[in-house]
């Protein structure tokens, strides 16, 4: 059977960017920056983008493009060359993707609820209290109350699952790909509109200072580096079997380096825009409430759900702009969620030769049940914990092992040779230095520290 292929270069980039751009850019990036000292986070973030983000993207595109398989079979084949059994590494990545899928959908549920609220700005004048106390009901969170089920959130999550299930059940091209082509540019424009308004507010610039002013004293804090590397893998969807699967559908004649740079730069550029928006609003809120910026929002995890309603309240025509913004955000979240589920399904189809529809139903049904744990009043706590564990331990471990196998056990220049062979512009030896030395050294250090702290 002939393997499916993308129709066009643009089709592939849009799919890769569609997976990359998601809630990680608007919900997770600002909250990571907020919790890690703003400017203190920004420098490691850019450093991680150059030393790990771009090289990893080139590496995964090259592997998928060359071997034309999904992760478990790719690592199986690479292992066979070494006389090792490495299929488990692929399954480990698929497992990480599956875990992300079940909590990611909870945040999509929040965005769907907020889409509903946005028609009449029912978040009121105090979006902070609204989000944490009314919506998540954290106020009455005594330890005995943690198991309480939150029907509203569960309903919103069910809607998200229904859409994802339909998309992976029938194939992604028609609906989501077409919707993304319209919605992604719209999301960009919406963020720019909101930024323009927000930058004119008193205090906004002090928010930007907080985000962009490097704090070199915190560069010695490994936690900040850990958050930055974790965020880069999360935001770029690398290390999860996804980009491997997507690039396995590339036609033979495809420009690897160019595609990889475009995907990374578009995604990270978008995160920076979102950061400007959110920190601009924070600066404004800090000035209004005469509080330090770090005390304006009660917990970083809900940052976006407090600042964006605050910004929308200040806009002309909020009843129009609000829904437009949240629709676009929902689409960005769903297109990423679909790509995560797709990674799990395609690996299962490849291995067990199940029909697509059967695999889709099984994966979505199990995912649905597990994800309901996040619709309880203990859900936020659990989400924070799982997100931390996945991004600070599991993911770093999987990426470190992937790097060591490919650059130390196989041939170092394997990746660069293939990538350059297929590309118009060539990347230099820095690629190997990053993949073989810089990234593994940093990942190993961070991982050792995180494991030590956890155990």
- Rule CB under 6 A: choose which of 234, 246, 305, 325 binds ligand PHE: 234
Q: Which residues pair with 149 in a beta bridge?
A: 376
The DSSP result for 229-274, as a single string, is: HHHHHHHHT-SSSHHHHHHHTS-SS--HHHHHHHHHHHHHHHHHHH
279 binds ligand PHE (CB under 6 A): no
Contact of 275 with 26, CB cutoff 8 Å: no
Contacts of 152 (CB under 8 A, 6+ apart): 113, 135
Part of the chain binding Na ion (CB under 5 A), chosen from 15-23, 58-66, 205-213, 300-308:
15-23
Q: Is 123 in the site for ligand PHE (CB under 6 A)?
A: no
Backbone torsions φ then ψ of 200, nearest 5 degrees: -85, -5
Residue that has been written with the tokens 């930024």 in this structure: 195
Binding map of ligand PHE across residues 191-210, x = CB under 6 A, - = no contact:
--------------------
User: Distance between CA atoms of 303 and 451, rounded to whole angstroms?
Assistant: 28
How many CB atoms within 10 Å of residue 56?
A: 25
Residues 73-102 that bind ligand PHE (CB under 6 A): 97, 100
Question: Which C-beta is closer to Na ion: that of 150 or that of 339?
Answer: 339
257 binds, among Na ion, ligand PHE, none (CB under 5 to 8 A by kind): none
Among 36, 237, 248, 257, binds ligand PHE (CB under 6 A): 237
Note the Cα 277 to chain centre separation in Å.
Answer: 18
Q: Residue 298: which of 432, 160, 132 has the closest Cα?
A: 132
Residue 22 as a binder of ligand PHE (CB under 6 A): the answer is: yes
Q: Is 19 one of the binding residues for ligand PHE (CB under 6 A)?
A: yes
Which residue from 24, 39, 275, 309 is in contact with Na ion, where contact means CB under 5 A?
24
Report if residue 396 touches ligand PHE, rule: CB under 6 A: no
Q: Is 398 in the site for ligand PHE (CB under 6 A)?
A: no
Taking each continuous run of H as one helix and of E as one strand, the counts in the chain are 22, 0
Binding part of the chain for ligand PHE, among 43-51, 165-173, 234-242, 382-390 by CB under 6 A, reads: 234-242
Structure tokens at 373: 């744990």
In the bound state, the residue with its beta carbon closest to Na ion is 235
Q: Kindly give the interhelix angle for 303-313 and 87-118, rounded to the nearest 10 degrees.
A: 30
The stretch among 43-51, 69-77, 189-197, 237-245 that binds ligand PHE (CB under 6 A) is 237-245
Instruction: Give the span between the Cα atoms of 90 and 93, in whole angstroms.
Output: 5
**Which residues ranging from 364 to 383 are in contact with ligand PHE (CB under 6 A)?**
none
C-beta closer to ligand PHE: residue 26 or 296: 26
Q: Residues in the site for ligand PHE, rule: CB under 6 A? A: 19-20, 22-25, 97, 100, 234-235, 237, 240, 242, 336, 339-340
Q: Residues in the site for Na ion, rule: CB under 5 A? A: 20, 24-25, 235, 267
């Amino acid at each position: 059977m002939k393997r499916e292929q993308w129709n066009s270069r643009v089709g592939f980039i849009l799919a890769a960017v569609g997976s990359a751009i998601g809630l990680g850019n608007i919900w997770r990036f600002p909250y990571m920056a907020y919790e890690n000292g703003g400017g203190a986070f920004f420098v490691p973030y850019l450093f991680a983008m150059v030393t790990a983000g771009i090289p990893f993207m080139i590496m995964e595109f090259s592997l998928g493009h060359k071997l034309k398989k999904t992760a478990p079979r790719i690592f199986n084949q690479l292992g066979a060359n070494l006389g090792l059994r490495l299929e488990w590494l692929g399954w480990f990545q698929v497992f990480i993707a599956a875990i992300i899928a079940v909590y990611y959908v909870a945040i999509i549920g929040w965005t769907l609820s907020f889409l509903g609220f946005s028609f009449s700005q029912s978040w009121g004048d105090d979006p902070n209290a609204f989000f944490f106390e009314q919506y998540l009901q954290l106020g009455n969170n005594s330890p005995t109350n943690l198991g309480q089920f939150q029907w509203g959130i569960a309903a919103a999550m069910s809607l998200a699952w229904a859409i994802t299930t339909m998309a992976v059940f029938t194939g992604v091209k028609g609906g989501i790909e077409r919707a993304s082509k319209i919605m992604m540019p719209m999301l960009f424009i919406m963020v720019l509109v909101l930024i323009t308004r927000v930058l004119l507010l008193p205090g906004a610039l002090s928010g930007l200072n907080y985000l962009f002013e490097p704090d070199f004293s915190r560069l010695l804090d490994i936690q900040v580096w850990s958050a930055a590397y974790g965020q880069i893998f999360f935001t770029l969807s690398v290390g999860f079997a996804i980009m491997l699967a997507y690039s396995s559908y590339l036609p033979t004649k495809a420009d690897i380096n160019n595609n990889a740079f475009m995907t990374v730069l578009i995604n990270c550029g978008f995160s920076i825009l979102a950061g400007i928006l959110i920190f601009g609003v924070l600066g404004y809120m800090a000035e209004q409430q005469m509080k330090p910026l770090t005390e304006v929002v009660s917990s970083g995890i809900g940052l976006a759900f407090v600042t964006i309603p605050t910004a929308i309240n200040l806009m002309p025509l909020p009843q129009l702009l609000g829904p437009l913004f949240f629709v676009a955000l929902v689409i960005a979240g769903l297109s990423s969620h679909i790509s995560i589920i797709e990674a799990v399904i395609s690996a299962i189809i490849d291995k067990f030769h199940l029909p697509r529809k059967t695999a889709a139903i099984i994966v979505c049904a199990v995912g649905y049940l597990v994800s309901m744990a996040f619709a309880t009043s203990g859900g936020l706590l659990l989400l924070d914990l799982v997100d931390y564990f996945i991004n600070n331990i599991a993911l770093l471990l999987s990426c470190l092992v992937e790097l060591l196998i490919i650059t130390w056990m196989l041939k170092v220049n394997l990746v660069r040779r293939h990538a350059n062979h297929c590309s118009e512009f060539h990347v230099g030896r820095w690629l190997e230095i990053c993949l073989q030395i810089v990234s593994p050294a940093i990942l190993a250090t961070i991982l050792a520290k995180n494991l030590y702290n956890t155990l």
